[in-house]
Amino acid sequence: MAACRPTPIVLACTAMNFDLFQAEQAQAETDRLTAGLNTEQARAVTTTEGPLLVLAGAGSGKTRVITHRIAYLVERCGVPPWQILAVTFSNKAAGEMRERIELLLGEASADLWLGTFHRIGVRLLRSFGKHAGLASSFGIYDRDDSQRMIKRSMAALNIDDKQLRPRTVASYMDRAKNRLQLPDDPDLPRSDRTELKCAEIYARYEAEMRRADAVDFGDLLMRPVQVLNDEPTLREHWGRRFRYVLVDEFQDTNHAQYELLRLLTAGSGNLCVVGDDDQSIYSWRGAEVQNILSFPDRFAGATVVKLEQNYRSTDVILAASGALVRQNRTRHDKTLWTDQKGGDLIAIHEANSDSDEADWIAQRIEALRGEYSLSEVAIFYRTNAQSRSLEEAMGRYRLPYVLIGGLRFYDRAEVKDLLAYCRLALNRDDTASWLRAVNTPKRGIGKTTVGRVEAIASAQSISVPEAARRMVSSHERFRGKDKLSVFVELMARIRRLIDNMSADDAGGRILEMSGLRRALQQEQSLENESRLENLAQLVTAMGEYAQSAPDPTLGGYLEQVALVTAVDRLDGEREVLSMMTMHAAKGLEYDVTFVCGLEDGLMPHGRPGTELRDTEEERRLLYVAMTRARKKMHLSYARLRWRFGEQQLQTPSPFLTAIPRDLLDRQGGRRGGFGRVARVGGSWQAQTTRPSRSWPKRATRSIQRDDGTVVEQIAERTETEEVVVQRQGTMAAGSQVKHKTFGAGQVIDVAGYGKLARVTVRFRTVGVKKVLARFLQTT
């Protein structure tokens, strides 16, 4: 098949000898598909052959480019949709993209492969997972399930989960998988005791996962790559399967994703990636900006298109965010521009406390309500914990909101319980689900019995559910056998019954048979009522799924659920405002935005000693947040913030100094900009780019109490309201401290501040340990 060439038109797609009429038609078609695009966008759409890098600044219309490019490939070049793969960052983005493509293409769009990397990974593994030792019914483990497996693995290896936190192990394995390193990889980090232990646990964990026929998020990327590398026939097939591959948000891809793309485009070489190095905010998750920065080097002959015209924001918003991100050293130089000259100034507000800040935001929203729909308003913050005071304020002002992130619906205990039964029904070796379901609701199978089953599973190298089945059918007698039998038989019955049922029918039956509903109904309480409601809602969701999905089975539903993200639930239609972390804000846009909590240590988030690279990523994160606004942006920070269960004094974010003063409209609070000038003896120290290690010096009165803690009173506030801030006595290297259990010792190093500081102490009796400052007392 001939390649589709953009220009000149006479050389286009299908046949050699086509007449002028066809040429005109083709031109007309091209015009239709590039209508309303600027020159560069049109070039990105029509440059179909070979590697293509689209450097797309914030709001430069990259989604348009991708959708039009797909339409162009199908309509103008006659590429069958099933030969096109488009990868997006979130399921929501995928959904929106599918909608837009449907408008352009109609029915034909159904065959298109479109989804997140993880979803593509699932699809590939369902197709060839057996080459990775997976049955087709394999389950997908979320963080919770996978943590459970880590704990099991640690227990089996006799490693104390207090000495080595499962979280540490999880992130070690995550990193390994993002780098495509299997447990036997000689390059796995093994430089210290922790890493050695992690590597050991990793191997064990993989074995446990295999027995449970389960994969985690990392596997969804690593396994497909591994299989394609190992199996020449499959590699050959899949390398040719897609003639055109498009990737959105390329700056946030990790090594595994990059390799997957390389394998899937080996045949055609038609890889189009779209991204913006200034918006790379997931390096902590293994994303490598290098993937986008060195794309032209790695893919010889790549075309590079730069989109620098912004269609989203006012000039003011662009200027402010541009001034901020320009401070980063490691970036491609580029400047966004817009036709929308001028615009409202950026409102900036200094609040006394986090709740005052939230109140101010609520008031502003209330005032803007006539002018803007609530669905066009969003609040962004750095950490999920900040949502609390905001939620309270929105409640006080009766402003309806949706909270994106935080506790997901699918994270609720009762929902996970029912889902565990469902998963176990489909995958009889699903260990994590078995452990969850076995005694929920209570059926008298406790630690002892479960421990016995786990021991047998380990001894015989089989899954935990399989061990239970064998124990039940063997002649051996033991206490608790009857109860275990009841559960094993229950699962067998469920399994038989739901075969061939639709997702909601199956879900409903399982809700009954498992006894979950009865247990919740038996004990009447408000909580249980809401739990029952949630479960009913879950079954309803299954029904909605079964109605519309091509695969209406329970299995199909579970697969979808496993990969649902917080943002996916966002619904632009409802007349409510949105609140989310800055990370979740990526790819979204609103008329009116509030970026709050702009304080040192919170934004940029970090501890002292934070590296430049991290600071730059924080700056990019704020840049992403700021570029979400179309018309009106608000920035705010509080002087006093409730953090870690105590009030903490905050200083404004050093990032604020980057924003030109004449773009700001200061609302209340102190006057002037943020400059680097210290107010000697006053409230604010000179702003540094690094979070300060000590508390800001203020006009304070300190009182030493009997127990050694220092109570500070902030003089300038005592007239109206007394604010008491507690802190531990100064803990610097060398000072003598005392710990409840470890006894006396000497401080070697301090990292972090306040009560959450991590202090390294050499204790007289137990040696060197890291402890939290709040568990120490100065002596």
Active site residues: 62-63, 248-249, 279, 628
Q: Which is nearer to DNA, 477 or 671 (CB)?
A: 477
Q: How far is the CB of 440 from DNA (least distance, A)?
A: 10
116 binds DNA (CB under 7 A): yes
Among 123, 131, 666, 774, binds DNA (CB under 7 A): 774
Among 584, 592, 664, 725, binds DNA (CB under 7 A): 584
- Please tell me the distance from the alpha carbon of residue 385 to that of residue 596, in angstroms, as a whole number: 13
Using CB under 7 A, which of the segments 196-204, 260-268, 578-586, 700-708 binds DNA? 578-586
Q: Which is nearer to DNA, 477 or 740 (CB)?
A: 740
- Please tell me the distance from the alpha carbon of residue 497 to that of residue 242, in angstroms, as a whole number: 40
Q: How far is the CB of 489 from DNA (least distance, A)?
A: 17
Q: Which is nearer to DNA, 382 or 698 (CB)?
A: 382
Q: How far is the CB of 419 from DNA (least distance, A)?
A: 16
174 binds DNA (CB under 7 A): yes
Using CB under 7 A, which of the segments 369-377, 524-532, 653-661, 766-774 binds DNA? 766-774
Among 472, 614, 697, 723, binds DNA (CB under 7 A): 614
740 binds DNA (CB under 7 A): yes
Q: Which is nearer to DNA, 30 or 449 (CB)?
A: 449
- Please tell me the distance from the alpha carbon of residue 638 to that of residue 600, in angstroms, as a whole number: 10
Radius of gyration of the chain (CA): 29
SS (H, E, C) 178-228: HCCCCCCCCCCCCCCHHHHHHHHHHHHHHHHHHHHCEEEHHHHHHHHHHHH
- Binding-site residue total for DNA (CB under 7 A)? 50
581 binds DNA (CB under 7 A): yes
Phi, psi of 584 (to 5 degrees): -70, -20
Give which of 776, 739, 770 is closest to 163, Cα–Cα.
770
446 binds DNA (CB under 7 A): yes
- Please tell me the distance from the alpha carbon of residue 690 to that of residue 655, in angstroms, as a whole number: 10
Using CB under 7 A, which of the segments 6-14, 96-104, 122-130, 767-775 binds DNA? 767-775
Among 48, 353, 384, 777, binds DNA (CB under 7 A): 384
Q: Which is nearer to DNA, 622 or 664 (CB)?
A: 622
Q: Which is nearer to DNA, 143 or 701 (CB)?
A: 143
443 binds DNA (CB under 7 A): yes
Among 207, 402, 501, 772, binds DNA (CB under 7 A): 772
- Please tell me the distance from the alpha carbon of residue 375 to that of residue 588, in angstroms, as a whole number: 12
Q: Which is nearer to DNA, 225 or 771 (CB)?
A: 771
At 259, the amino acid letter reads E
- Please tell me the distance from the alpha carbon of residue 640 to that of residue 723, in angstroms, as a whole number: 9
628 binds DNA (CB under 7 A): no
Beta bridge partners of 777: 738
How does DSSP assign 447-463, residue by residue? HHHHHHHHHHHHHHT--
CB atoms within 10 A of CB 665: 13
566 binds DNA (CB under 7 A): yes
Cα pseudo-dihedral 171, 176, 177, 181, rounded to 10: -160
563 binds DNA (CB under 7 A): yes
449 binds DNA (CB under 7 A): yes
447 binds DNA (CB under 7 A): yes
Token pair for residue 720? Answer: 């109206």
- Please tell me the distance from the alpha carbon of residue 361 to that of residue 377, in angstroms, as a whole number: 11
Q: Which is nearer to DNA, 144 or 512 (CB)?
A: 144
| Distance from the first to the final alpha carbon of the chain | 81
- Please tell me the distance from the alpha carbon of residue 530 to that of residue 536, in angstroms, as a whole number: 10
Token pair for residue 700? Answer: 């304070």
558 binds DNA (CB under 7 A): no
Among 383, 534, 689, 713, binds DNA (CB under 7 A): 383
442 binds DNA (CB under 7 A): yes
95 binds DNA (CB under 7 A): no
438's CB contacts (< 8 A; 6+ apart) are 445, 450, 468, 487
Binding letters toward DNA, positions 3-32, x by CB under 7 A: ------------------------------
Q: Which is nearer to DNA, 457 or 506 (CB)?
A: 457
- Please tell me the distance from the alpha carbon of residue 306 to that of residue 292, in angstroms, as a whole number: 13
Q: Max Cα separation, the chain?
A: 97
- Please tell me the distance from the alpha carbon of residue 576 to that of residue 590, in angstroms, as a whole number: 12
Binding letters toward DNA, positions 282-321, x by CB under 7 A: --xx------------------------------------
Using CB under 7 A, which of the segments 47-55, 552-560, 627-635, 639-647 binds DNA? 639-647
- Please tell me the distance from the alpha carbon of residue 710 to that of residue 716, in angstroms, as a whole number: 18
Q: How far is the CB of 563 from DNA (least distance, A)?
A: 6
Q: Which is nearer to DNA, 265 or 581 (CB)?
A: 581
Phi, psi of 600 (to 5 degrees): -60, 130
Among 36, 444, 609, 660, binds DNA (CB under 7 A): 444
Give which of 730, 770, 721 is closest to 353, Cα–Cα.
721
Among 90, 321, 627, 700, binds DNA (CB under 7 A): 90
567 binds DNA (CB under 7 A): yes
* Total residue length of the chain: 779
473's CB contacts (< 8 A; 6+ apart) are none
Using CB under 7 A, which of the segments 79-87, 103-111, 260-268, 440-448 binds DNA? 440-448
- Please tell me the distance from the alpha carbon of residue 438 to that of residue 229, in angstroms, as a whole number: 39
Phi, psi of 47 (to 5 degrees): -85, 90
Token pair for residue 189? Answer: 């980090």
- Please tell me the distance from the alpha carbon of residue 71 to that of residue 103, in angstroms, as a whole number: 10
Binding letters toward DNA, positions 478-517, x by CB under 7 A: -xx-------------------------------------
324 alpha-carbon distance from chain centroid: 24
Positions in 148-167 near DNA (CB under 7 A): 161-162, 165, 167
- Please tell me the distance from the alpha carbon of residue 160 to that of residue 767, in angstroms, as a whole number: 18
767 binds DNA (CB under 7 A): no
Token pair for residue 367? Answer: 């005032």
Q: How far is the CB of 585 from DNA (least distance, A)?
A: 9
- Please tell me the distance from the alpha carbon of residue 229 to that of residue 122, in angstroms, as a whole number: 17
Using CB under 7 A, which of the segments 128-136, 267-275, 695-703, 771-779 binds DNA? 771-779
Using CB under 7 A, which of the segments 24-32, 77-85, 125-133, 561-569 binds DNA? 561-569
Using an 8 Å Cβ cutoff, are 149 and 431 in contact?
Answer: yes
691's CB contacts (< 8 A; 6+ apart) are 600, 601, 604, 606, 607, 608, 610, 753
250 binds DNA (CB under 7 A): no
Token pair for residue 648? Answer: 């903490």
Q: Which is nearer to DNA, 68 or 255 (CB)?
A: 255
Positions in 396-425 near DNA (CB under 7 A): 405
The residue ranges of DSSP E strands in 201-302, in sequence order, are 214-216, 244-247, 271-275
Q: How far is the CB of 110 from DNA (least distance, A)?
A: 22
143 binds DNA (CB under 7 A): yes
- Please tell me the distance from the alpha carbon of residue 731 to that of residue 749, in angstroms, as a whole number: 9
118 binds DNA (CB under 7 A): yes
- Note the residues at the interface with DNA (CB under 7 A): 90, 116-118, 143, 161-162, 165, 167, 174, 217-218, 284-285, 382-385, 405, 439, 442-449, 479-480, 563, 565-567, 581, 583-584, 605-606, 614, 643-645, 740-741, 756, 771-772, 774-775
